[in-house]
Amino acid sequence: MLVYAALIVCVAMGIRHTFGLFLTPMSMEHQWSREVFSFALALQNLMWGATQPFAGWLADRYGARRVLWSASVLYALGLLGMAYSATGSGLAATAGLMIGAAQSGCTYSVVFAAMGKLVPDAKRGWAMGVVAAAGSFGQFLMIPVASGLIGGLGWFGTLLVFAASAFLIIPLGGALTKGLAAGASGHGQTAREALGEAMREKSFVLLIGGYFVCGFQVVFIGVHFPTYLIDKGMGAEVGMTALALIGLFNVFGSYTAGHLGGRWPKRHVLAGIYAARSVVIWGICILLGVLSALIHLPIDERSLEARRLATAA
């Protein structure tokens, strides 16, 4: 069952992490400003977050299988609509609202809820770490694939391929939820009562704040980092490689975090992760500023030597 959960997240999150590569070609094709594409993806993430509680409620009430299947179809339709969008409002409706809602039904909230009923308590943290690592592996795998497909088929053809790929969630969801009954949780609570109980827990509220920061950083980097590097004078392949490496190393990080969460207090592990991430992001900003200055130096013997040193670094 763990394999099916990992594959679902790998497909759903792998496609999601490639959207930053579409910013430049789609904006150039339709003569959009960057704000048009950025707004659609910002709306996507807001929709993803806003609809996850409802996706979880539907999974509890009607079963995770139906939610996964419905989300798969909506994901494919959203990608298809994104390919045919010729206006900013169309892009916002498809890449933003439709894909955002679809992601809430085929990513962590529903998959983790199903796993929680299938995996023993003692192994739950480890299992969730494995599935989270699968999502990061999807990023590592799909970003080079998307870059190659965009180079060969163009952005339009690539979105059609991804739309077809989204249907893989249907058989995987059926295999994951085989024999899993709906309505197995809740202890007699309504959705409002469960949410009220959670909001009275300080740890839950703090966790929401931490996830807000996490989502802001991850999405900002995924959407804007490749184009930012192009603006700094670097090739498109640099951004693609950087995002793929983020996904690769996050595989090990997610697995390790899941393992450490079973041994140490989870709040300490989370605090360490967020602190380290902040330091690294500051370091990247400083380093890119230095590299950009070196790249744009006047061409003379001294600047060439500085560029060779920067490239070696």
User: pLDDT per residue over 103-135, tens digit each?
Assistant: 999 988 888 888 777 777 777 777 777 777 777
Q: Is the residue at 309 inside a domain?
A: no
pLDDT at 289 over 90: no
Q: Is the residue at 169 inside a domain?
A: yes
Q: Is the residue at 84 inside a domain?
A: yes
Q: Is the residue at 90 inside a domain?
A: yes
Q: What is the mean pLDDT of residues 76-96?
A: 96
Q: Is the residue at 308 inside a domain?
A: no
Q: Is the residue at 71 inside a domain?
A: yes
Q: Which CATH number fits the domain that encloses residue 149? A: 1.20.1250.20
Name the pTM for this structure. 0.75
Q: Is the residue at 99 inside a domain?
A: yes
Q: Which tens digits make up the pLDDT trace of 59-81?
A: 888 888 999 999 999 999 999 99
Domain count, the chain: 1
Mean pLDDT of the chain: 82
Q: Name which residue leads in pLDDT, 94 or 312.
A: 94
Q: Which domain holds residue 74?
A: 2-180
Distance CA 263, CA 120 (A): 16
